[in-house]
Amino acid sequence: MASYSTNQFKSGLKIMLDGDPFSIVENEFVKPGKGQAFNRVKVRNLKTGKVIDRTFKSGETVEGADVMETEMQFLYSDGEFFHFMNQDTYEQHAAPAAAVGDSAKWLKEQDLCSVTLYNGQPLSVEPPPHVVLQVAQTDPGLKGDTSSGGNKPATLETGAVVQVPLFIQEGEMLRIDTRSGEYVSRARD
Amino acid sequence: MIRALVSTFLEHVTDSSWMPSASVEVLRRRAAQLAAIRQFFATRDVVEVETPTLAAAGVTAPHIDGLREVSTGYWLQTSPEYAMKRLLAAGMGDCYQLARAFRAGEQGRYHNPEFTLLEWYRVGWSGTALMAEVQALVDEVLGQAPVHAMAYSEAFVAAGLPDPLIASDDELEQAACAAVGQLPDGLNCDGHLDLLLDAVVIPSLPSRCFLTHYPAAQAALAQLDEGDARVAHRFEFFCDGVELANGFVELTDAIVQRQRFVEDQIQRQAAGLKVVAIDERLLAALQAGLPACAGVALGVDRLLMLAEGAHSIAQVMAFDWGRA
């Protein structure tokens, strides 16, 4: 794996620290006029999601992390593993539930997800920014009420619970923003 | 045919990096500020000088890396200090320069490898008198505001840190670790002080503040204090958390200056850095007699950034490093 000098640091760069893969969140070059130059960085541990501060002497090098984000199709879950396929190579990857984490509640079979591979193994899974999911259960709403501001919870086919307008009925297809976890609109078809 | 070639070539310029990093309105105001700075010195009978941007000697300073021109091996000057001191030794008297300076690897929000330094010298002046003149210039560009002054060690203590003049290196290392997390290997005492200054002290300073009496190990080209050899006649000026100027009551003793240059070389060698030759013409000028004087260098791009309320110096430069 390539190594990177601090002058190549930028947000998004994946590096190895203490044996774990990290992604640089913020990088700041600091130097008193006559003093030592430093790069003070915020880095996210790609395994735990935790963000920590680190300080490097400018000019130091660190090893790059063999981390790749690849678009893959979600095939199915067998309860223990979530199975994905790279649509270019047809290569399949099984991600343990721990790697999928909270994203699981947005995953619908055949949707395209962003899978982060670390040394070839799935490390984390990002759902598509928008998904279309069917309402599995919600209390009967007020038919014809498309204007009043009230909300109610609805359980979707994947198990996710979102707040929806009162007029939404069971069986409807909804467009959801997975980044905010919010209802966007009814899906046309 | 040519048309086809030209359009193929143009397709390669797909980004907007041909455009300036500052708006033309900012650049017009920059021109007006530079004219005002020249007027400031003209009314005070300080003469504008120009010294070589490319010169035979570089600097020995442990943390400043110069850039070298390939065909001659001459150094792009990291500041006009040495040449201006040679002018002073030759009887130039009070003088200033708006110089382009170059420092390798310095790139960030407040750094660009090529930048503009305003450097000036006052013959027979004290550090206090020069600090007052820095304040007058800053007031002219940024508007008047109260200015504070604290000794370097006083500012550390006021920020809840160990006193740099008394504390052991272990104490400083622990304080630095608490402030910025895990530290890089091989930092010396001044490395810990630099980190603490940046992360803890500077953010705690009043809006406009001089730090004075820097530790002797960071004297650079300043005289040591006659009453307390632990500190030097060196000051810096900070404005809203930005390091704006560095000044000295200048060291005039050629022998002491040579010792400091040799110590720089030893420090660079120990750090595995390239050792740079000493500027013998500067030492010859000191030997011939540099008049007692105080001098200061001020980062013009940073000053204009503050005047504009800009986020980075790139926003007040025509073309920053990424577009140069």
Question: pLDDT (tens digit, 9 = 90+) per residue, B79-126?
Answer: 999 999 999 999 999 999 999 999 999 999 999 999 999 999 999 999
Average pLDDT in chain B:
95
Distance CA A84, CA A167 (A): 35
Residue among B211, B222, B198, B237 at smallest CA distance from B154: B211
User: What local confidence, expressed as pLDDT, does residue B15 receive?
Assistant: 76
Segment (H or E) for B45: none
Q: What is the CATH number assigned to the segment(s) A130-186?
A: 2.40.50.140
Angle among Cα B216, B218, B219 to the nearest 5 degrees reads: 65
Tell me whether the CATH fold assigned to A67-126 matches the one assigned to A130-186. yes
Burial class (CB in 10 A: 0-12, 13-18, 19+), B41: buried
Chain A residue at shortest CA distance from B238: A32
**In this complex, is the C-beta atom of B199 within 8 Å of any C-beta atom belonging to chain A?**
yes
How many Å is the maximal CA-CA distance in chain B? 78
For residues A98 and A107, what is the distance between their CA atoms, to the nearest angstrom?
A: 14
Q: Please give the interface size between A and B, counted as residue pairs whose CB atoms are below 8 Å apart.
A: 69
Q: Which residues of A touch B193 (CB under 8 A)?
A: 35
Tens-place pLDDT, residues A76-92:
999 899 999 999 999 99
- Average pLDDT for B146-167: 97
Q: Which amino acid is at A66?
A: D
Q: What's the confidence (pLDDT) of residue A188?
A: 73
**Mean pLDDT computed over B295-320:** 98
- For tokens 């000697």, the residue is B57
Query: How far is Cα A164 from Cα A152, in angstroms, rounded to an integer?
Result: 6
Core vs surface per residue B110-149: b (16+ CB within 10 A) or e: bbbbbbbbbbbbbbebebeebbebbbebbeebbeeeebeb
Residues of A in contact with B199 (CB under 8 A): 40
Residue type, B119: E
pLDDT at res. B5: 57
Contact residues, chain B, for A33 at CB < 8 Å: 236, 243, 246
Looking at the structure, give the CATH architecture of the domain made up of residues A67-126. Beta Barrel (2.40)
The per-residue pLDDT for B185 is 86
Q: Domain extents for chain A?
A: 3-64, 67-126, 130-186
pLDDT at A26: 94
**Which residue reads 């009162």 in tokens?**
A166
Q: Which of residues 28 through 67 in chain A touch B, CB cutoff 8 A?
A: 28-38, 40, 52-60
B71, B295 contact by CB (below 8 A) = no
User: Are the CB atoms for B51 and B80 separated by under 8 Å?
Assistant: yes
Compute the residue count for chain A. 189
Report the C-alpha gap between A103 and A105 in whole angstroms. 5
Decide if pLDDT at B73 tops 70: yes
Question: What pLDDT does residue B182 have?
Answer: 86
Residue A109 one-letter amino acid: E
Whether A48 shows a pLDDT value over 90: the answer reads: no
Q: Residue A29: its chain B contacts at CB < 8 A?
A: 106-109, 111
* Residue of A36, A50, A62 best to disrupt the B interface, most CBs of B under 10 A: A36
| Chain A hits for B246, Cβ within 8 Å | 33-34
Cα distances (angstroms) measured from residue B295 to each of A23, B28, B97, B223, B246: 44, 29, 11, 12, 9
CA distance linking residue B313 with residue B110, whole number of Å: 6
Q: What is the pLDDT of residues B136-145, one digit of tens each?
A: 999 999 999 9
Residues of B in contact with A35 (CB under 8 A): 63, 190-191, 193-194, 197, 218
Does A25 contact B at CB distance below 8 Å?
A: no
B9 pLDDT band (50/70/90 cuts)? low
Say whether pLDDT at B10 is over 60.
no
Helix (H, G, I), strand (E, B) or coil at B157: helix
Identity of the residue numbered A84: F
- Cα B130 to chain centroid, rounded: 16
User: What topology is assigned to A3-64 in CATH?
Assistant: SH3 type barrels. (2.30.30)
CB contact under 8 A, A56 and B191: no
Tell me the one-letter amino acid at A98: A
pLDDT, residue A140, reads 85
Q: Is the pLDDT of residue B320 over 80?
A: yes
pLDDT band at A161 (very low <50, low <70, confident <90, very high): very high
B residues 59-88 closer than 8 Å to A (CB): 61, 63-64
Pinpoint the alpha helices (H) of chain A.
97-100
Any A CB within 8 A of B194 CB? yes
| Confidence band for B14, pLDDT divided at 50, 70 and 90 | low
Task: Give the closest of A30, A53, A59 to B181, CB-based.
Answer: A53
Chain B nearest CA to A167, separation (Å): 47
**Is pLDDT above 60 for B175?**
yes
Interface test with A, best of B185, B195, B211 (most A CBs within 10 A): B195
Nearest to A31 among B106, B181, B193 (CB): B106
